[in-house]
């Protein structure tokens, strides 16, 4: 897959393909409860891609909602990323959940696929912000991204993810 749109469409088609087995997942308000993520990842047609897409997609979506709320409605109409609901309470769970060491999810993370997915999703976001004339927001997003990763990912995982995001620069469309 070569675009955020293709990955987003793939994710939602995977959700649709669950069909009658959807009752085995806790789906709510455009996303999943974190208690359902591992089952969804395992049952998907491409578990490495699913973990990577959800991790980076949730990170982008939460950043846009938190730091660029004034443009979130427009953003979310273009990029329909899933939500990650916190289990047992209100609010959202951190995107670092997908590599959480306590449950061994870090050992399931394929950093090559994460790098590929991050390249696609972040580059498409950067291109969209640039095309929308949001150069200040683009610069601010890039500045905030490493701080958000440091805040929401455990040390061992942010040491993997920060070099990946450092290598991503807007490429021509």
Query: What DSSP assignment string belongs to 101-153?
Result: GGGTHHHH--HHHHHHHHHHHHHHHHHHHHHTT-HHHHHHHHHHHHHHHHHHS
d(C-alpha 3, C-alpha 123), whole Å: 9
Mean pLDDT value of segment 30-52: 90
Mean pLDDT value of segment 12-38: 73
Q: Is the pLDDT of residue 86 over 60?
A: yes
Count CB neighbours of 86 within 10 A.
Answer: 14
pTM of the model: 0.91
Q: Is the pLDDT of residue 120 over 90?
A: yes
Q: Are the beta carbons of 132 and 82 closer than 8 angstroms?
A: no
Mean pLDDT value of segment 82-103: 86
Q: Is the pLDDT of residue 172 over 60?
A: no
DSSP 8-state class, residue 3: S
Buried residues in 21-40 as b, exposed as e (16+ CB within 10 A): eeeebbbeeebbbbebbbeb
Q: Are the beta carbons of 37 and 26 closer than 8 angstroms?
A: no
d(C-alpha 106, C-alpha 157), whole Å: 7
- Report which of 67, 54, 58, 51 is spatially closest to residue 129, judged by C-alpha positions: 67
CA dihedral of 58, 60, 65, 67, whole degrees rounded to 10: 140
The predicted pLDDT at position 28 comes to 62
Q: Where are the domains of the chain?
A: 4-166
Q: What is the pLDDT of residues 121-170, one digit of tens each?
A: 999 999 999 999 999 999 999 999 999 999 999 898 889 999 999 998 76
The predicted pLDDT at position 50 comes to 96
Mean pLDDT value of segment 42-57: 95
Mean pLDDT value of segment 58-81: 96
Q: Is the pLDDT of residue 51 over 80?
A: yes
Q: Is the pLDDT of residue 20 over 60?
A: no
């Amino acid at each position: 897959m070569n675009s955020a749109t293709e990955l987003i469409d793939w994710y939602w088609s995977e959700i649709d393909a669950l069909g009658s087995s959807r009752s085995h997942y806790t789906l709510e308000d455009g996303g999943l409860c974190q208690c359902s993520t591992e089952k969804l990842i395992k049952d998907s047609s491409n578990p490495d891609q699913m973990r990577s897409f959800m991790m980076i997609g949730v990170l982008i979506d939460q950043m846009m909602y938190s730091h660029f709320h004034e443009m979130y409605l427009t953003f979310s109409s273009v990029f329909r990323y899933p939500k990650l609901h916190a289990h047992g309470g209100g609010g959202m769970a951190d995107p670092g959940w997908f590599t959480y060491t306590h449950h061994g999810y870090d050992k399931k993370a394929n950093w090559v696929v994460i790098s590929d997915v991050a390249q696609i999703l972040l580059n498409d976001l950067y291109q969209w912000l640039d095309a929308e004339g949001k150069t200040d927001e683009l610069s601010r997003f890039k500045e905030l991204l490493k701080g958000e990763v440091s805040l929401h990912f455990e040390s061992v995982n942010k040491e993997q993810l920060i070099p990946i995001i450092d290598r991503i620069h807007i490429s021509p469309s």
